[in-house]
Structure 1
Amino acid sequence: MPILEVEHISKSFNKTPVLKDVGFNLEKGQAVSIIGSSGSGKTTLLRCLNFLEHPDNGIIRVNGETLFDASVPATTQESVIRKKRLHFGLVFQNFNLFPQYTALENVMLAKKLLATEQPDFKERKREILTAIEVQAKVLLTQMGLDNRMDNYPHQLSGGQCQRVAIARALALQPDILCFDEPTSALDPELTGEVLKVIRELADQNTTMIIVTHEMAFARDVADHVIFMDDGRIVEQGDPRQVFENPSEERTKQFLSRFHEG
């Protein structure tokens, strides 16, 4: 059974359709790259999956559980959706780190807030917070930031900030890790260090959805590639198939622009 099932997702803004009957499956341990021109609906799809936007129509299931069904009002309430967001971790284009917190504090913050909701938090506060700090340090070390834990975002490079953001997303141990063009805000010389981390996560069979404009990276790292155009999935399949022998004319036109560039 797929870890993620997306069926008939549609979304409009001010009566302008942005997503049109989008559907796909994601297997556990699989890395999926979503490619396409700006305005094709890639980021909106990712935001719908993370419930930052509510689809107008469609169904989202994780591990067989229906998290969202536009036809069932009980699944669309914000109080219900908030808990279901924990199935997904999202790494934004522009990091979205809290400037007043250190790298370590940024990674710990969400887990600490969730911990306060535990019924035994007051009795086990020291134990729980210590475990959260240990986990955050392990993640930052995994990101190559063991010597930057006490730095604030303004003291870090863009690539380092993005790696802190990845550690923060991983801290909540999501079922699916999502990246929204994770290198688009970086200088070219910093792009490689972030792509290296994502490549390592793929090698560890981390389940990921990666919206990216890095075509070579999408081709080499992903297990499955989705090409979107005008709010629809036009073509999807094995990276070799999509990049080397696309079946759809719109895919060919998009990739020809990439090759020409």
Structure 2
Amino acid sequence: MALLEVEHLNKSFGATSVLKDISFSLDEGHSVAIIGSSGSGKTTLLRCLNFLETPGAGRITVAGETLYDGTAVTDEHALRQKRLHFGLVFQSFNLFPQYTALENVTLAVKLREPSKSKWAAIDAHGLELLERMGLADRAGHYPHQLSGGQQQRVAIARALALSPDVLCFDEPTSALDPELTGEVLKVIRSLADQHTTMVIVTHEMAFARDVADEVIFMDGGVIVEKGPAREVIDHPREERTRQFLARYAQA
């Protein structure tokens, strides 16, 4: 049974239609990679899933609970509750510079837990997450003391701290130097091995092919092709997909 279901999602900015009738589902423990050129709607789709943008129409369901049914959600408390279903890792880390790595990981959890007697357990869990990221010895470091790859791994730990149903990545390596990209992809690969449910917007085609269960190719705000990752990357059916992958191979 699908954990995430997206049905007929649409989003426009003024007269510009950015998402057009987007539908897909994702089983628990599976990952889907979303590929496509800049401006194809990939990031807007993630922002709609996380309620950082409000879709214009459609339906979003997680674990059988309808989070969006075409009606705008204006209550801030309700929005925060819906966002808890998703964790989002941004391109540019978005860590708080005044907080240590551990504080960045635990801040949101502590804000939801008024009882300070439970904060020690929250810190312990935060340290466990940093250890999973290979950063146990960096818990007390501030973002400016960390490499870009280390900052992104802290951001992944922060997203995991709230135990989201679905973990979303918005081109998590695009702001990194090539030598730092591998360490972040290694973490995401390990999450896939642990059957973390993930939506990954990426420009790393080989990574998408080898790690994701499915691939969605978007162009012009529509899903052009979707299917098993290796099938879509190695044997695309649609001409637009073939042209995109050929351009990528020549880059």
Place the TM-score, normalised by the shorter chain, in its bin.
over 0.9
Is 1:142 the counterpart of 2:126 in the alignment? no
Match of 2:35 in 1: 35
Paired AA for residue 79 in structure 1: H
CA distance in 2, matches of 1:183, 1:90: 14
User: Residue 107 of structure 1 contacts residue 171 of structure 1 at CA under 8 Å; is this kept in 2?
Assistant: yes
Give the alignment of 1:112-151 within 5 angstroms: 112-116=110-114, 121=115, 125-126=116-117, 128-151=118-141
Match of 1:191 in 2: 181
CA distance in 1, matches of 2:191, 2:63: 21
Match of 1:241 in 2: 231
Tell me the SS of whatever aligns to 2:29: coil
CA distance in 2, matches of 1:77, 1:9: 21
Match of 1:82 in 2: 80
User: Residue 69 of structure 1 contacts residue 76 of structure 1 at CA under 8 Å; is this kept in 2?
Assistant: no
Match of 2:103 in 1: 105
Q: CA deviation at 1:79?
A: 2.8
CA distance in 1, matches of 2:172, 2:74: 28
Match of 1:17 in 2: 17
Match of 1:165 in 2: 155
Tell me the SS of whatever aligns to 1:94: coil
User: Residue 68 of structure 1 contacts residue 76 of structure 1 at CA under 8 Å; is this kept in 2?
Assistant: no
C-alpha distance after superposition, 1:193-236 (max 9, x if no partner):
00000000000000000000001101110000000000000000
Q: Higher mean Cα deviation, 79-88 or 19-28? A: 79-88
Percent identity reads 69
Query: Please, what TM-score do these two structures have when normalized by structure 1?
Result: 0.94
C-alpha distance after superposition, 1:88-146 (max 9, x if no partner):
00000000000000000000100000112xxxx2xxx22x1011000000000110001
Q: CA deviation at 1:76?
A: 5.3
Q: CA deviation at 1:78?
A: 3.2
Paired AA for residue 94 in structure 1: S
Tell me the SS of whatever aligns to 1:237: strand
Mind listing any 5+ residue stretches in structure 1 that lack a counterpart? none
C-alpha distance after superposition, 1:181-204 (max 9, x if no partner):
000000000000000000000000
Mind listing any 5+ residue stretches in structure 2 that lack a counterpart? none
Give the alignment of 1:175-254 within 5 angstroms: 175-254=165-244
Q: CA deviation at 1:15?
A: 1.4
Aligned-residue Cα RMSD (Å) equals 0.9
C-alpha distance after superposition, 1:44-65 (max 9, x if no partner):
0000000000001111000111
User: Residue 140 of structure 1 contacts residue 167 of structure 1 at CA under 8 Å; is this kept in 2?
Assistant: yes
Is 1:91 the counterpart of 2:93 in the alignment? no
